[in-house]
Structure 1
Amino acid sequence: MHRVADAYGRLLAHHGPQSWWPAETRFEVIVGALLMQQTAWGNVEAAIRNLRHAGLLDVRRLAAASLPEIRRCVRVAGLYRTKPARLRTFCRHLLDRADGDLDAYFARPTAVVREDLLAQRGVGPETADSILLYAGGHPVFVVDAYTVRIASRLGIVRGTGYDRVAGTFTRGLPSDPAVYRECHALLVAHAKGFCRPRPRCDPCPLLGICDHGRRRKG
């Protein structure tokens, strides 16, 4: 069995299904991904609630809103001088590219949509792949700091380059967006509960296949 598949099975057995992404609509997923940079998810949830209460959680309304209006809603998510403008610009891009129709936007090939996302200001690989996977249902694997930490400690990847780590997971798992979503969510849960900066190796369900854990145990 591929070590990635082995790790995924162990994580699923221990933590159970995570059922991510915690958002009500695909547009909320996009907004959340754009706001998530350098902040905690709780702050993003608060910003999304503010946008909803202000009647702005809609691609056309957000594209037409003033920056002060948006700023009041998303300030809690940090980077309030840059995130409002990037959020509005992205909504205007969705209108220009697909008339705000997410089905049409995501109907294009994965590589085409990813290139388009990466061309937008403030959208890096992690944000682009979060949008592709969770909002678009495309088979890409999201790599974040938690993923890199666990993969490096397990010894399943050498180096921390984004594409290298992502490729390790896509080669080791079925090419299924549902599996990629579940695995990514499980990695986040595991990094918070066990594979912390100071790891809890003794009770870790991955100890038997973890290079770092075995070295610590001697």
Structure 2
Amino acid sequence: MKHLRAPFDLLFNRFGPQHWWPGQTPFEVMVGALLTQNTAWSNVEKAIANLVRADALSCRAVLDLTDDRLAELIRPAGYFNVKTKRLKVLCQFLAARGVVDAPETLARQGTLAELRRDLLAVHGIGEETADSILLYALNLPSFVVDAYTRRAFGRLGLLDETDSYAAIKARFEAVLPAEIGLYNEYHALIVRLGKDYCRPQPRCADCPLNAICPNTP
């Protein structure tokens, strides 16, 4: 599994740093991680812009909004009624932990494993969302796996696309050093690869990984 490191170097050499996560505050990162479920990031940006204009991009502000008003603001992100409930539950979780005004301090309230367990217990937060919050909002080394990871590394022959989330995450974390910057950049680069080249109908000709991909024509 040492070959899991090789794609990073090729991707970084081609694309350079991606400057992720695209959020101004840890709470905005948390909101983005939840709202991006089942939608394009461009739709999330519209929803977050609505929250900013309404001066509602804080945990306390979200808790103060009615469900109807919050749903109206995040409507561009899709599934707005479901996501309204999930966002409220996340904020209630943060309030219960005493970090409503400084969500990033949640990182001090337990080990990485404990915090991940607690996030996964919050309604509407799955593994990818939890790891995104841990890595990009709380600055903890928890590798994020997504559909782009499965597709690209399945095509590279480095994993089976049908493997569980936990199994794929464990493979990366067994090989890569537990460095926040590396995990941050690697996931961002994989997303860039998946959007630009390793699509359902791949663009292999100019792909930065075509030299190591057995599926390159």
The question of a shared fold, defined as TM-score above 0.5 by the shorter chain, is answered with yes
Once the two structures are TM-superposed, the CA of residue 172 in structure 1 deviates from its matched residue by: 2.6
Corresponding residue number in structure 2 for 1:61:
61
Quote the Cα distance in structure 2 between the aligned partners of 1:201 and 1:82: 37
Between 76-85 and 152-161, the greater mean CA deviation after superposition: 152-161
Q: 1:154 to 1:52 in 2, by over 3 A?
A: same
Once the two structures are TM-superposed, the CA of residue 202 in structure 1 deviates from its matched residue by: 2.4
Once the two structures are TM-superposed, the CA of residue 5 in structure 1 deviates from its matched residue by: 1.2
Once the two structures are TM-superposed, the CA of residue 102 in structure 1 deviates from its matched residue by: 2.2
Counterparts in 2 of 1:33-182, with a 5 A limit? 33-100=33-100, 101-107=102-108, 108-158=110-160, 159-182=162-185
Structure 2 counterpart of 1:197, from 177, 197, 200: 200
Quote the Cα distance in structure 2 between the aligned partners of 1:103 and 1:57: 14
Between 156-165 and 191-200, the greater mean CA deviation after superposition: 156-165
Q: Secondary structure at the match of 1:209?
A: coil
Quote the Cα distance in structure 2 between the aligned partners of 1:53 and 1:97: 27
Q: Secondary structure at the match of 2:159?
A: coil
Q: Secondary structure at the match of 2:114?
A: helix
Contact 1:152 1:160 in 2 (8 A): no
Contact 1:129 1:142 in 2 (8 A): yes
With the length of structure 1 as denominator, give the TM-score of the two structures.
Answer: 0.94
Contact 1:98 1:104 in 2 (8 A): no
Once the two structures are TM-superposed, the CA of residue 191 in structure 1 deviates from its matched residue by: 1.1
- AA of the residue aligned to 1:36: T
Q: Percent identity?
A: 43
Quote the Cα distance in structure 2 between the aligned partners of 1:40 and 1:68: 23
Once the two structures are TM-superposed, the CA of residue 39 in structure 1 deviates from its matched residue by: 0.7
Quote the Cα distance in structure 2 between the aligned partners of 1:99 and 1:199: 44
Between 5-14 and 153-162, the greater mean CA deviation after superposition: 153-162
Corresponding residue number in structure 1 for 2:11:
11
* Larger relative helix fraction: 1
Q: Secondary structure at the match of 2:5?
A: helix
Structure 1 regions of 5+ residues with no counterpart? none
Runs of 4+ in 1 over 6 A off after TM superposition: none
Corresponding residue number in structure 1 for 2:21:
21
